[in-house]
Amino acid sequence: MAELAARTAHSKKIPASDQVYHVADFYNRYPGEEVVFYTTLKIATRQPGRVLTVMLPEGLELGGYTLPGEEAVPSGGVRDLEEGSAVDWTLADDLAPGSELTLVTHARVLALEQPVPQRSQAVLRDQQGYELASETAQVTVRAQSRLLRYLPEIYHESSFLGRFLMLFESFLAPLEGQVSQSDGYYDPDLTPEGFLPWLATWIGVAWDDSLPVARQRKLLGEALGLYQKRGTRAALEEYLRIYSGGEVEIVEYRAQNFSLGKEARLGSTIALGKANFPHTFQVSLKVPRALLDQRFGASQVNAEVLFRKKIEAIIEAQKPAHTAFGLNLTIV
């Protein structure tokens, strides 16, 4: 008890800065199926000797564990628990604050006689073994298929039929999930990346694969408002700002110069000053070099030429048909 009190008092002195998120890809599984746990660790401070442990209950058999894209963190080690197993990851001492790690743990569901919740826990501890952060993910393991409830009661006690119907449920469950979440496919912020070009065809947005995904989603999200204002200076400025990521300025020229003489006539088509051309406008666009390198690659010598053609095509498609334009593109 004294040791536990000392640990508790010590843990209160440590700011709960580091965060652990522990989730499963499915929360309802049947025996023999695989469940994958994703553990995301957000680093807030530099501390040596931290260990992240992912614990699995005895109803889940450890299949594999990976840390995608990270070379600085040693491979995890597996150890047996009284009821289950655990994977320990020793974190590198030089992890910078603000960095994130995502651990992937694969497990296979073992056979159970009754539906039992299987709880997996991720715990982050410091060099002395004190807990810094933790989170639990629960997976419900079902012994029989839920489709049995649609059959007469006489079949409910058939273990063979309960297992046999699991095959059909495993085929139908993903389809049911897609149907129940179909509204997300029409949301630019939620739809999978592969559906973005398809969604663009619904709202008449010219698609460009070279555009970063975040900007593609932003453009689709603003498409309706831009369409309602299509043909105006405000809409074109906003479209180019989202597409290019740069600074946009549009100057409109509405009328001809006023010239003294017997042919001079005052009216809506006459303006004082110089360089007044009816139905024309000038687009000034400043784009950082880093954005062009990101889209076309730093080794692409014709990146500026390609980018100019894309911008001109956008302006041509968005402007009123009777107008003409000039483009001043500056790479900064």
Last residue of a domain, one of 126, 143, 160: 143
DSSP 241-291: HHHH-SEEEEEEE-SEEP--STT---STTEESSS---TTEEEEEEEE-HHH
Helix (H) / strand (E) element for 177: namely helix 159-180
Q: 33 or 108, which is more confident?
A: 108
Size (the chain), residues: 332
Query: In which domain, by residue range, is 110 found?
Result: 2-143
Structural domains counted in the chain? 2
The contacts of residue 141 (CB under 8 Å, 6+ apart) are: 29, 30, 31, 59, 109, 112, 115, 116, 117, 118
- Name the phi and psi angles at 141, rounded to 5: -100, 125
Which region among 62-66, 72-76, 109-113, 120-124 has the lowest average model confidence (pLDDT)? 72-76
Inside any domain, residue 163? no
- Which pTM value belongs to this model? 0.48
Predicted pLDDT at 293: 80
Last residue of a domain, one of 96, 124, 143: 143
pLDDT bin (cut points 50, 70, 90) of residue 5 is very low
129: left (phi over 0), alpha (psi -120 to 50) or beta: left
- The stretch 24-33 carries a mean pLDDT of 81
Same domain, 234 and 128: no
Predicted pLDDT at 260: 57
CATH number of the domain enclosing 108: 2.60.40.680
pLDDT at 284 over 90: yes
Same domain, 8 and 135: yes
pLDDT bin (cut points 50, 70, 90) of residue 1 is very low
CATH number of the domain enclosing 324: 3.30.300
**294-309, pLDDT tens digit by residue?**
777 766 668 888 889 9
**Cα dist. 3→6, 14, 81, 129 in Å?**
5, 17, 22, 12
Tokens of 121: 């826990």
Same domain, 139 and 12: yes
pLDDT at 113 over 70: no
* Beta carbons within 10 angstroms of residue 216's beta carbon: 23
204: left (phi over 0), alpha (psi -120 to 50) or beta: left
Inside any domain, residue 150? no
